[in-house]
């Protein structure tokens, strides 16, 4: 649970909440249910290297085409990406 709490803090402090929400589309995709649509590996790679993902991953490329905004690379660590993933999983269970 501590990892998900850390992820919640990162979601706010790293400005994820500027573009993403759960149950609401802002600038980026609505994150509600994302852990049911995408694998944990995909989500972590999207968090860690969104700029690379839009070039090599067809789903990420389609999202860029739909939303017209490149997710910024926030230079997060793998540990931070894991914490964010755990927070997103927790939100999907609520």
Q: List pLDDT tens digits, range 55-68.
A: 999 999 999 999 99
What percent of the chain stands above pLDDT 70? 99
Cα–Cα distance list, 33 to 10, 16, 23 (Å): 19, 16, 9
pLDDT higher than threshold 80 for residue 1? no
Mean pLDDT confidence for 41-58 = 98
Closest CA to 7 of 58, 62, 44: 44
Task: Output the pLDDT for position 8.
Answer: 97
Q: Angle at which helices 78-93 and 2-13 pack, to 10 degrees? A: 100
Q: What domains, with CATH codes, occur in the chain?
A: 2-93 (1.10.760.10)
| C-beta atoms surrounding 5 within 10 Å | 13
Closest to 78 measured CA to CA, from 53, 47, 33? 47
Report the distance separating Cα 47 and Cα 81, nearest Å: 6
Distance, in Å, from the CA atom of 29 to the CA atom of 22, rounded to the nearest integer, reads 9
């Amino acid at each position: 649970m501590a990892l998900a709490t850390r992820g919640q803090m990162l979601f706010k402090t790293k400005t994820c909440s500027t573009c993403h929400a759960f149950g609401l589309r802002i600038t980026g995709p609505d994150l509600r249910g994302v852990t049911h649509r995408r694998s944990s590996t995909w989500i972590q790679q999207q968090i860690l290297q969104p700029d690379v993902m839009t070039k090599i991953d067809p789903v990420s490329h389609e999202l860029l085409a739909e939303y017209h905004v490149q997710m910024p690379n926030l230079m997060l660590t793998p540990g931070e990406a894991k914490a964010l993933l755990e927070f997103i999983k927790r939100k999907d269970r609520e």
